[in-house]
Amino acid sequence: MSGDHAHNDSQIESGSRVNDSHKHKDKHKDKEYRHKDHKKEKEREKSKYSNSEHKDLLEKKHRDKEKVRQKDGADRHKDKEKRKEEKMRSFDGKPKKEKENGFARSLLSSLSKCCHVVCFRGVLRPVPRVKSEPDNDGFYHSPKHERSLKRERDDDDSEFMPKKIKIENDKKVKKRKPEEEEDIKPKKKRKDKKGDVADGKKKAKKEPEEKWKWWEEERATDGSKWRFLEHKGPVFAPPYEPLSSKVKFYYDGKPFKLSEKAEEVATFFAKMLDHEYTTKDIFRKNFFKDWRKEMTSEEKGKLTDLNKCDFSELNEYFKAQSEARKQMSKEEKLKIKEENERLLQEYGFCLMDNHKERIANFRIEPPGLFRGRGDHPKMGMLKRRIRPEDIIINCSKDSKHPKPPPGTKWKEVRHDNKVTWLVSWTENIQGSIKYIMLNPSSRIKGEKDWQKYETARRLKKCVGRIRAQYREDWKSKEMRIRQRSVALYFIDKLALRAGNEKEEGETADTVGCCSLRVEHIKLSPEKDGQEFVVEFDFLGKDSIRYYNKVPVEKRVFKNLQLFMENKQPEDDLFDRLNTSILNKHLQELMDGLTAKVFRTYNASITLQQQLKELTTPEENIPAKILSYNRANRAVAILCNHQRAPPKTFEKSMQNLQTKIDAKKDQLFDAKRELKSAKADAKVRRDEKSKKAVEAKKKAVQRIEEQLMKLEVQATDREENKQIALGTSKLNYLDPRISVTWCKKWSVPIEKIYNKTQREKFAWAIDMADDDYEF
DNA sequence: CGCCTGACTTAGTATTTAATGA
DNA sequence: TCATTAAATACTAAGTCAGGCG
């Protein structure tokens, strides 16, 4: 409980997503500075290729990708140059950061009520850090030689795994190791394939069957992800259904009949009318531009001003429709449900290596208007409808290939077992590829997940050494090394993301560690009674604000001053560093180490420590769960996982309070009754009255328990107002820690993980004992 | 070697479903 | 039994990172 817990307060207190900073950055203004600038040159070169329309792009088929990219790229660069020019002229460009959705508000109060949450950092990082972690990993194994082709093998965690697990693990190691066995395996697999297929059929009929424990089987070592893959392809978005002519769109006050294509796009906008998106300039501009591309030339001529477009009737129509859907009779609802179920059964599963596996997203994303997060330059653009001709299918050669809808064909069918996706297509907003992949409960995802935690556990063994080294590097005479070491310190201490550079004008302006700019930190030699305080304030992933005041070591502070010398606010803080340099360095420190492993490691180790610290043996189960949630919360705060407070938050708190009050009254009454029963028993001294007393006692107890439960719930909810636990639970916390905790304290696992989560973490639930240690 | 891109993980929010209570 | 509210799930954007290519 020392030191910097106050900063966590502030971090949360002010967290918010900033949407409309009209900030203007031109980070590459003064060239000389850095070596990140050749980009520029390239861009300029490329922009020569620039050309006009990019409508036809969408239509084009082959070698399309190249082309799209190039054209887009060209446009992009033009834009960029233009902006730059603008910038030169008007020099205001100061960042305007504002809290938009009033994220935090009363957080401080609620959080400070609970010191556990805010104090975790002291616990997490005792000052003499170097010593605080085990450090028994040979640093100097030559990466070149020792690194096997297959990395991430948990060679020797056996010493970390007591008894039973150790056995399991040995098995695991043995199984996974031998490459020679590779020849044998396929045969073996192939053999039981038939049997298994039959099995699969059975399974489909009568659900039960014991679950497949893939974690007890060996993994492929040749980089292949599967041997057999069969699926039914994607489910396409339903075709557009034109509006009835009764529902009218108006232009300039007069009804206007839109062509089908234009109407469809109009409905996208109409459906969002209540959303504040539609009031934003960029959104409107992008929408209108793309909408016009869908119009007939006649429409184009007439509809020239979005402000004269009246979508309100369409909007009301859709609202009424969704209302009607809610009011549907039970039978109708059931019918829809059954239809969905049928679709799920048909398309929601695939057959991968003899096992029926659930697909995560078997539906193709329907067309609509792009909703970027934060201040996204492309918000409002039309996300076009995906057709079979856009789709690449991936499956086994010898499988039954999915059929394209009648009269259409796939763009391509390939058989690449080095990847895990079943279907892919190129999306038109960023030109990136989208995939259909398997559910987190699948073997292919589970293995990877498990592996991720094993890598983090390997980091645990050598983190001491790595920390010692980066501290040493703060003194390096080489700038790049100093920058690298300070960045790594932030990544480790603050769980920052790596921070890849992003293309300006393509996405919202967000940063991570390596891409921090001078304007994102403020140095104070002394602040609030602490020395060498760094104040972070930037937008991270999803434009979630990261705000934190952290005291750092003097050397770090001095280095930061050095890095900031002679720089403009919009210049990179770490001008000699990027994620690829950093990760290459990390790779040398430990096989499989990358920046994000630190997040996983610090998250999991924090959970483990917090659980140890917060759990009180004699507490009842609800209180234990509160402790768990608090430990989880500590991690969420560390990782800056925020959420918008639920719209009905205040009300639901009130409701809960009402319940609590009612329960208190009830308790009061029950106690009074108990008293009188006791008095009664004293007088009467018969069995019956004694029993009555007992009964009353029980009632009081029960009510007390209920009250307690409610109060705990209230605390939990209040503390959780704008903190999202889900992300860390799902992605950062080694599930075995939670499972072990549950076993140790006899908390039913269902209290911690819901059904989906239990499916995802089946491997952990099965293999973790009550003495697992991360 | 830097850049680009493909593949995959991580992320918050919108929508749907289930649970609760009037 | 219906309406609310909470929890679960669906959705898809936005990151990370490695490998290939010019």
Instruction: Please report, in angstroms and rounded to a whole number, the separation of the first and last CA atoms in chain A.
Output: 23
Phi, psi of A739 (to 5 degrees): -60, -45
The pLDDT, as a whole number, for residue A726 is 95
Report chain B positions within 7 A of protein CB atoms: 2-14, 17, 21
How many angstroms is C1' of B11 away from CA of A512?
14
Answer yes or no: are the C-beta atoms of A620 and A708 closer than 8 Å. yes
Q: What tokens appear for A41 in the block?
A: 């040159």
Q: How far is CA A42 from CA A38, A51, A64, A75, A581, in A?
A: 6, 17, 22, 14, 21
How many angstroms is C1' of B12 away from CA of A722?
12
- Strand C within 7 A of A568 CB: no
CA-based nearest residue to A229, from A448, A405, A443, A415: A415
In whole angstroms, give the CA distance from residue A465 to residue A772: 24
- Strand B within 7 A of A520 CB: no
How many angstroms is C1' of B1 away from CA of A45?
19
Q: What is the number of helices (H) and of strands (E) in chain A?
A: 27, 15
| CB count in 10 Å sphere of residue A523 | 15
- Strand C within 7 A of A511 CB: no
DSSP three-state, residue A328: coil
How many angstroms is C1' of C7 away from CA of A720?
15
Q: Which residues in range 410-439 of chain A are in contact with strand C, contact meaning CB within 7 A of any of its atoms?
A: 427, 429-430, 432
Note every long-range contact of A655-662, with CB atoms under 8 Å and residues 24 or more positions apart, other chains counting.
Answer: A656/A710, A656/A713, A656/A714, A656/A717, A657/A714, A659/A710, A660/A707, A660/A710, A660/A711, A660/A714
In whole angstroms, give the CA distance from residue A221 to residue A52: 49
Phi, psi of A381 (to 5 degrees): -70, 155
H-helix segments, A503-620: 554-564, 579-589, 595-614
Strand partners, A434: A425
DSSP three-state, residue A141: coil
H-helix segments, A246-377: 260-271, 281-294, 297-302, 312-327, 330-347
**Cα A514–chain centre separation:** 20
B/e letters for A579-618, b = 16+ CB within 10 Å, e = fewer, are bebbbebbeebbbbbbbbbbbbbbbbbbbbbbbebbbeee
Q: Which residues in range 74-113 of chain A are in contact with strand B, contact meaning CB within 7 A of any of its atoms?
A: none
Instruction: For residue A216, give the DSSP letter.
Output: G
Answer yes or no: are the C-beta atoms of A652 and A717 closer than 8 Å. yes
Question: Mean pLDDT by 10-residue block, N- to C-terminus, for chain A (774 residues)?
Answer: 36 45 38 38 34 29 29 34 33 30 29 32 25 29 31 34 30 32 31 35 44 90 93 96 94 96 97 93 96 96 96 93 82 84 94 95 97 95 97 96 96 96 96 97 96 97 97 95 97 97 93 97 95 97 96 97 95 95 96 97 97 94 93 96 86 84 86 90 88 89 85 85 94 97 95 96 92 93
Q: Which residues in range 399-438 of chain A are in contact with strand B, contact meaning CB within 7 A of any of its atoms?
A: 416, 418-421, 424, 432-433, 435, 437
- Strand B within 7 A of A452 CB: yes
How many angstroms is C1' of B7 away from CA of A28?
30
- Strand C within 7 A of A524 CB: no
A314 exposure class (CB count in 10 Å sphere: 0-12, 13-18, 19+): buried
- Strand C within 7 A of A67 CB: no
Tokens 């973490």 belong to A761
- Strand B within 7 A of A542 CB: yes
In whole angstroms, give the CA distance from residue A352 to residue A658: 52
- Strand C within 7 A of A361 CB: yes
In whole angstroms, give the CA distance from residue A466 to residue A132: 12
Phi, psi of A526 (to 5 degrees): -150, 130
**Cα A178–chain centre separation:** 35
Is beta strand A392-394 parallel, antiparallel or unpaired with respect to A412-414? Answer: parallel
In whole angstroms, give the CA distance from residue A471 to residue A469: 5
Strand partners, A558: none
Enumerate residues 6+ apart whose C-beta is below 8 A from A127.
A2, A3
Q: Which residues in range 194-253 of chain A are in contact with strand C, contact meaning CB within 7 A of any of its atoms?
A: none
- Strand C within 7 A of A728 CB: no
The pLDDT, as a whole number, for residue A549 is 96
* Nearest amino-acid residue to B10, taking CA and C1': A731
In whole angstroms, give the CA distance from residue A243 to residue A314: 9
* Nearest amino-acid residue to B5, taking CA and C1': A432
Answer yes or no: are the C-beta atoms of A514 and A498 closer than 8 Å. yes
Q: Return the sign of the alpha-carbon dihedral for residues A27, A30, A35, A41.
A: positive
Tokens 């070698």 belong to A63
- Strand B within 7 A of A442 CB: no
Answer yes or no: are the C-beta atoms of A239 and A296 closer than 8 Å. no
How many angstroms is C1' of B1 away from CA of A32?
20
Q: Give the CB-side neighbour count of residue A649, counting CA atoms within 13 A.
A: 18
In whole angstroms, give the CA distance from residue A83 to residue A25: 9
How many angstroms is C1' of B15 away from CA of A316?
19
How many angstroms is C1' of B3 away from CA of A42?
10
- Catalytic machinery residues of A: 732
How many angstroms is C1' of B11 away from CA of A362?
20
In whole angstroms, give the CA distance from residue A505 to residue A375: 10
In whole angstroms, give the CA distance from residue A181 to residue A175: 9
- Strand B within 7 A of A720 CB: no
How many angstroms is C1' of C3 away from CA of A69?
52
The pLDDT, as a whole number, for residue A208 is 46
Amino acid at A564: M
In whole angstroms, give the CA distance from residue A225 to residue A110: 47
* Nearest amino-acid residue to B4, taking CA and C1': A69
Answer yes or no: are the C-beta atoms of A53 and A60 closer than 8 Å. no
The pLDDT, as a whole number, for residue A712 is 82
CA-based nearest residue to A546, from A167, A12, A140, A62: A12
CA-based nearest residue to A21, from A429, A506, A539, A645: A539
Q: Which residues in range 585-644 of chain A are in contact with strand C, contact meaning CB within 7 A of any of its atoms?
A: 587, 594-597
- Strand C within 7 A of A134 CB: no
Enumerate residues 6+ apart whose C-beta is below 8 A from A315.
A270, A271, A273, A274
What is A151-183 written as a DSSP string?
Answer: ----TTGGGGS-HHHHHHHHHHHHHHS-SGGGG
pTM: 0.77
